[in-house]
Amino acid sequence: MIPFTRWFVLSALCLCPGLISSASAQDIIIGEFASLTGSEATFGINSSNGVELAKEEINNSGGLLGGRKIKIIVEDDQSKPGQPSAAVKKLVANDKSVAILGEIASSRSLEAAPICQEAKIPMVSPGSTNPAVTEKGDYIFRVCFIDPFQGTVMAKFALDHLHVKKVAILQDVKSDYSKGLAQFFKEYFTSHGGQIVGDRSYTGGGIDKDFRAQLTSLKTSQPEAIFVPGYYTEAGLIAKQARSLGIKVPLMGGDGWDSPKLTEIGGTALNGCYFSTHFSVQDKNPNVQDFVKKYQAKYKALPDGMAPLGYDAMMILAQSIKTAGSTDGPKVRDALASVKDYPGVTGNITIDEKRNATKSAVVLEVKDGQAQFVTTVPP
């Protein structure tokens, strides 16, 4: 009997860590998947920083649901297709997350959304702007505007602000985001007197680095501006190669350009180029300035457009858990669906019946390596 008793005591000891961790299961576990490495690494890192900042603020002010702390489990999807589904399956099944935050890239959010929908766990995307993302189901939300809006904003901007009528498009064929922006730009632009004089594509995600072939053929169609709705790595290289081929017209893009790396890679080639995004550090709005101060204090750097989206996503999720009074999936879902006029860093956010955020966009111009605030375009 003695060996058995000893075995019993030993196994009880072994269970102790389990007991301790089940005590901390009082924490509210929120899963996050983000591109912390790979070609869109700065998006993942910055949005993740924003989430972290919001989490600290909530936990420092007493947590949620009677003092329960939020615990974030982050999985890196390496900016690669295939990884988000694996990451989210793990977050849902193994880590028992009550909600999922992520991603910036629409292709990757689209991959994860069906998994959250099936598990009836709310997913809040900070920055995926392709409309199809929230169409995956009634548990999928976002705190950013969508491609039709962003494509339309840039088409409006090209017509009214730049006064151009002939625009060429260079889109990333691998990205749902890029194709969406291009499509809605085209629709608005052509129906309001503009003309698309050329349309070429490339493969993004760090695959194509030479765009001279496409640019050379676009140049012959003599556009007055070129719409490049891709991500910052490619946009920087495209600007450089366009200028070296003697293309002097402005390039325009969407929030995929919004990273300090854009001008580090593209340099002066980007001067006089425009892009739409969610947020500008130069915006005088007190919410914005307050956020910038807190962000700088923690990370010693200026936030780009993705950090405040991560922050708003976390904050809105936390508020909804509070409203729901529970971490139960369907209840949190209902609370998220009823968010109205939430004063976020990236504007006043109302979740509409399609679970998209209605809010304004800002347009920035690149001048001497800095993105300067030009105008705000309301919804």
Looking at beta carbons only, is 259 or 356 nearer to another protein? Answer: 259
Binder among 214, 280, 346, 356 for another protein (CB under 8 A): 214
Piece in contact with another protein (CB under 8 A), picked from 207-215, 275-283, 317-325, 338-346: 207-215
Looking at beta carbons only, is 145 or 202 nearer to another protein? Answer: 202
> Phi and psi of 218, rounded to 5°?
-70, -35
Looking at beta carbons only, is 37 or 348 nearer to another protein? Answer: 37
Min dist CB 193 to another protein, Å, is 25
Looking at beta carbons only, is 42 or 125 nearer to another protein? Answer: 42
Looking at beta carbons only, is 44 or 250 nearer to another protein? Answer: 44
By CB under 8 A, residue 271 contacts another protein: no
Q: State the number of binding residues for another protein (CB under 8 A).
A: 34
HSE-CB for 233 with a 13 A CA cutoff:
17
| Residues of this chain, 132-191, that bind another protein according to CB under 8 A | 173
The contact pattern for another protein, residues 232-261, with x = CB under 8 A and - = no contact, is: -x--xx--x---xxx--------------x
Q: How far is CA 102 from the centre of its chain?
A: 7
Looking at beta carbons only, is 183 or 285 nearer to another protein? Answer: 183
Min dist CB 349 to another protein, Å, is 29
Question: CA dist 11 to 8, 32, 258, 320, Å?
Answer: 5, 34, 54, 41
By CB under 8 A, residue 131 contacts another protein: no
| Residues of this chain, 326-355, that bind another protein according to CB under 8 A | none
Binder among 200, 278, 333, 359 for another protein (CB under 8 A): 200
Question: Which residues make Cβ contacts (< 8 Å) with residue 282, sequence separation at least 6?
Answer: 372, 373
Min dist CB 211 to another protein, Å, is 8
Dihedral sign computed on CA atoms, order 116, 122, 127, 133: positive
By CB under 8 A, residue 45 contacts another protein: yes
| Residues of this chain, 50-89, that bind another protein according to CB under 8 A | 78
d(CA 42, CA 282): 20
By CB under 8 A, residue 10 contacts another protein: no
Min dist CB 318 to another protein, Å, is 28
Residues near another protein (CB under 8 A) are: 36-39, 41-42, 45, 78, 173, 200-203, 206-207, 209-210, 212-214, 216-217, 220, 233, 236-237, 240, 244-246, 261, 264-265, 267
